[in-house]
Structure 1
Amino acid sequence: MKYYSTNLKATDATLEEAVVKGLASDRGLFMPREIKPLSQEFYEHIEELSFQEIAYRVADAFFGEDIPADTLKQIVYDTLSFDVPLVKVTDNIYSLELFHGPTLAFKDVGARFMARLLGYFIRKEGKKEVNVLVATSGDTGSAVANGFLGVEGIHVYVLYPKGKVSEIQEKQFTTLGRNITALEVDGTFDDCQALVKTAFMDRELNEHLQLTSANSINVARFLPQAFYYFYAYAQLKKAGRGANAVVCVPSGNFGNITAGLFGKRMGLPVSRFIAANNRNDIFYQYLQTGVYSPRPSIATIANAMDVGDPSNFARVLDLYQNSHEVICTDISGATYTDEQIADTMRQVWQEHRYLLDPHGACGYRALAEGLRPGETGIFLETAHPAKFKDTVEKIIGESISIPAKLQAFMSGEKQSQPMSREFADFKKYLLG
């Protein structure tokens, strides 16, 4: 499979080149030349398959031309050592709980898959050390750091905005040591992302270091996130509710929903998608106006969605040939203030005894307000509420327990390197 750039000025890349480079030479994002539909037989019997079996069929459509079948199957099965249950919240709304992995966030799937795939390419080609640069607004850093921890030949640099991630999130990537370095940037997530993107384009840096990204700009990070959309549908079909499914995705950098849109292009029977935003509603405004106007991000209680210039918007445009009209047929939007998010968390806890995190609350509310008669909604509960313990407890007025996995991180000692938002300082640090 060849991969082209969304900017259409770079030469096509192999899967290995796309994964190792992360970003195309013209600063575009890599896209597969072909999105293969899966067979009707697969969808007719999907509810009989395990999560791993479903994921392998999807992975084979993306990566099967480039990776031996036994190796790809091993990567998939090693990645998915946990379940993602579909939980009924109301009669027509279900939560897909993506927080049962090692760091209790949905990004565990993509991060673990990419770590194993990149490790395979390093061993296969005998490469020198690969340096992974990742910007995080919350859960990406912890998922990538833990997914790559101890992987031979890879060093990870996690860039995160000072004071803008929760304490638990911060501990998950600042306490690991070994091949993980945390850089605490005096700025926003957009500043962190800009540092990473600029590093990929800097000739001197790339002459001295092999750089790649583990953000959702990397095809090996975002494509595996398609796995759980298929599994969600399988569980819904098994429950007799597979018809007229609507999926709502709390959206920040838009890698997650883009993976779902790839699934729909592969034949996944989802009627439509809803992109739920917090006050960083750049995509919502695009849907209303047809004009994309990025702006500095705003801090909210749903901090992992605090993105003012979503990278994967370029992939959405490319997937739909830049047609605002066609995009609007598959995707609608919603946007919520902190007060609305908090009200939703409080109400759902009181009425249904289901505990939402701030991001999942955006997804739930969009479905509660936007489902049509006869539709069944799935929202992605992207992280365990305990990752935002102080916020959640203040909203619901009750204490919540911290899972053992998170408690283990909290006992570690923070190790981070302060960093300015200036690229010259970041470059000097990497070269030093």
Structure 2
Amino acid sequence: MEFYSTQNKNLRVSFKDAVFNSMPLDKGLYMPESIPRLSSRFIDQIEKYNLPEIAFEVASALLQNEIPSETLRKLIEDAVNFEAPVVKLDNSTYVLELFHGPSLAFKDFGARFMSRVMSYFLQADEPLLDVLVATSGDTGGAVALGFLGVPNTRVTILYPKGKVSPIQELQLTTNGQNIRAIEIEGTFDDCQALVKQAFADEELNLKLRLTSANSINIARLIPQTFYYFNAYAQLKRKGVEQVTFAVPSGNFGNIGAGLLAYRMGLPVKQFIAATNVNDTVPRYLESGIYQTKPSVPTYANAMDVGAPSNWVRIMDLFHNDMEAVKTMIKAYRFTDEETLNGMKAIFDKYNYIACPHTAIAYLATERYKSENKTNDETTVFLSTAHPCKFPEVFPVEMAAKIEVPAQVRDLMHKPKQSEQLAADFNVFKAYLMQF
């Protein structure tokens, strides 16, 4: 399988090149040259497969022998070695919990798969691989743990100072070894812009072998399809044949993976894009005008993205057919006040504790149901992070009921290791060039 740039479909590269180069020189994003349809036999019997088996089938279809089958199977079994359960709240509402991996966030699927793919392709005599990643919260922690100790790699994580939760910051800054963390005086969009500028800088690319661990990397997108198929398998065991997914959306990689799964044959009735007040996509779907804006800090900080990179992939999946996009994606935005009310509502109704991002997906689910009168339709909203990562957001009585995993408690005793830089590319470039 070759991969093309969304800016130029004649620009084709191998999967290996797409993974290591992350972003084409024309500043598009890589996409598979064709979207394979999984066999109806596999979809019809998907409930018989477990998560690693599903992941292998999906990855095999997309990669088509770029990695030998047995190697790919072992890689997946190592990367996806945790559960992603669908939890029933009522007869028509489920939550897909994606926070059972090492960093307690859905980003573990992409980061762990990508690190192992890169490790497979890396040769011992090759130059050091410099992995750059911008994070608004959860990506950095997942990438740090995914790449920690991987030979011949060095990871540099940029995060907006004061705009990630204390536990998220500990996950970014307490690793050492081959992981470096930089606090940027600015927003996530500033961090993302610095990373993109680095990839476009000729001098940097002559000196360093740069790649990205952000969702612009195709190796992040592919494994995120796994949990959509696996969620459907779990629901089929309960007699559900079609589903609507509500997805917390920031950089739009998560819902982009769901739409890729849909194009591969997953029976999905509707996707719901749930955002906070960083609502570039909802505004676009309403007005037809795509206009980015500076991101605004919210309680759902991993979604604080004003210029979502992956939207170009979604438009590409639908051949830039705006009407088709609007038919398949409904989008809703929610304020911080509404988010807090949503956290309380889901707790009061179901005794379920949801992080701010998850609460926004729940609110979007409820809004969609009320507007479309689909009380009997099965909806699944995605829970993207463990609530323990946001203790300051919860009322005291809810916070007291959050079970803090051992790996988080261990972080409290580790020293913070980070640099502080201005949101200035020349400053960032000088930092990278000195090593």
* TM bin (shorter chain): over 0.9
Between the aligned partners of 1:375 and 1:346, the Cα distance in structure 2 is 24
TM superposition shift of 1:92:
1.0
Aligned residue among 389, 392, 415 for 1:390 = 392
8 A Cα contact 1:346 1:395, kept in partner: no
Amino acid at match of 1:43: I
User: Could you say which residue in structure 2 is the equivalent of 1:33?
Assistant: 33
Separation in 1, partners of 2:118, 2:310: 21
- The answer as to whether partners of 1:393 and 1:400 remain within 8 angstroms in 2 is no
Are the counterparts in 2 of residues 342 and 395 from structure 1 also a CA contact under 8 Å? no
Correspondence 1:259 to 2:261: no
Quick check: 1:253–1:310 contact (8 Å CA) kept in 2? yes
SS of residue matched to 2:4: strand
Residue 427 (structure 1) aligned with residue 426 (structure 2): no
Does 1:49 find its partner at 2:72? no
What is aligned with 1:201?
200
Given the superposition, is the C-alpha separation of residues 42 and 278 from structure 1 closer, same or farther in structure 2, using an over 3 Å criterion?
A: same
> Residues of 1 paired with 2:341 and 2:305: CA distance?
22
In structure 2, how many angstroms separate the alpha carbons of the residues matched to 1:424 and 1:9? 32
Contact 2:277 2:335 in 1 (8 A): yes
1:83 equivalent to 2:94? Answer: no
Distance 1:64 1:417, change over 3 A: same
Q: Deviations over 1:243-284 (max 9, x none)?
A: 3x1001000000111010000000001111000000111110
Q: Cα distance 1:426–1:9, how it changes in 2: closer, same or farther (>3 A)?
A: farther
- Alpha-carbon distance in structure 2 between the residues aligned to 1:118 and 1:184: 26
Q: 1:88 and 1:321 mapped to 2: Cα distance? A: 35
> How far has the Cα of 1:164 moved from its partner?
0.1
Question: In the alignment, residue 413 of structure 2 is paired with which amino acid?
Answer: S
- RMSD between aligned residues: 1.3
Give, in angstroms, the shift of residue 398 of structure 1: 4.4
Q: Which residue of the partner structure matches residue 403 of structure 1?
A: 405
Q: Distance in 2 between matches of 1:344 and 1:217?
A: 30
Q: Which moved more, 1:10-19 or 1:210-219?
A: 10-19
**What's the secondary structure of 1:89's corresponding residue?**
strand
Q: 1:9 deviation in Å? A: 7.4
Match in the other structure for 1:215: 214
Which AA in structure 1 matches 2:377? E
How many residue pairs are counted as aligned between the two chains? Answer: 430
1:414 equivalent in structure 2? 416
Q: State the alpha-carbon separation in 2 of the partners of residues 146 and 364 from structure 1.
A: 28
- The amino acid of 1:418's aligned partner reads Q
TM-score w.r.t. the length of structure 1 is 0.97
Question: What is the aligned counterpart of 1:297 among 290, 295, 298?
Answer: 295
In structure 1, what is the Cα distance between the partners aligned to 2:101 and 2:180? 22
Q: Which residue number in structure 1 is paired with residue 6 of structure 2?
A: 6
Residues 35-80 of structure 1, C-alpha deviation per residue, up to 9 Å, x if partnerless?
1000011011101111110110001011232110011111111111
- In structure 1, runs of 5+ residues without a counterpart are none
Hey, what's the Cα distance between the residues in 1 that align with 2:244 and 2:306? 26
Distance 1:427 1:337 in 2: 36
Structure 2: segments with no counterpart, 5+ residues: none
SS of the residue corresponding to residue 222 of structure 2 reads: helix
Residue 394 of structure 1, CA deviation: 5.2
Cα drift, residue 396 of structure 1: 4.1
Deviation of 1:302 after TM superposition, in Å, equals 0.4
Preserved CA contact (<8 Å) 2:92 2:375: no
Alpha-carbon distance in structure 1 between the residues aligned to 2:352 and 2:364? 16
Name 1:151's counterpart in structure 2: 150
Q: Please state how far the C-alpha of 1:365 moved relative to its aligned partner.
A: 1.1
> What's the counterpart of residue 117 of structure 1?
117
User: How far did residue 373 of structure 1 move?
Assistant: 3.8
Q: Which 10-residue stretch deviates more, 7-16 or 411-420?
A: 7-16
> 2: CA distance between counterparts of 1:399 and 1:374?
31
Which residue in 2 is equivalent to 1:128?
A: 127
* AA matched with 2:405: P
1:379 is aligned to 381
| 1:25 aligned counterpart, secondary structure | coil
Residue 362 of structure 1, aligned match among 360, 363, 367: 360
Indicate conservation of the 8 Å contact 1:137/1:303, yes or no: yes
- Per-residue CA distance 1:178-226 (angstroms, 9 max, x = gap): 0000010000000000000000000000000000000000000111100
After superposition, the Cα gap between the structure-2 partners of 1:150 and 1:326, relative to the gap in structure 1 and judged at 3 Å, is same
Q: Which moved more, 1:385-394 or 1:15-24?
A: 385-394
* 1:395/1:263 CA distance change after superposition, 3 Å: farther
State whether residues 345 and 395 of structure 1, in contact with CA within 8 Å, keep that contact through their aligned partners in structure 2.
no
Residues 88, 95 of structure 1: 8 Å contact kept: yes
Question: Which amino acid counterpart does residue 425 of structure 1 have in structure 2?
Answer: V
Q: TM-score, normalised by structure 2?
A: 0.97
Residues of 1 paired with 2:167 and 2:358: CA distance? 18
CA contact (8 A) 1:247 1:378 kept: yes
Please give the alpha-carbon distance, in whole angstroms, between the structure 2 residues aligned to 1:228 and 1:400: 24
User: Alignment identity in percent?
Assistant: 50
Alpha-carbon offset, residue 90 of structure 1: 2.4
Task: Tell me the alpha carbon deviations over residues 222-242 of structure 1, each in whole angstroms, 9 at most, x when there is no partner.
Answer: 111000000000011111122
Counterpart secondary structure, 2:11? coil
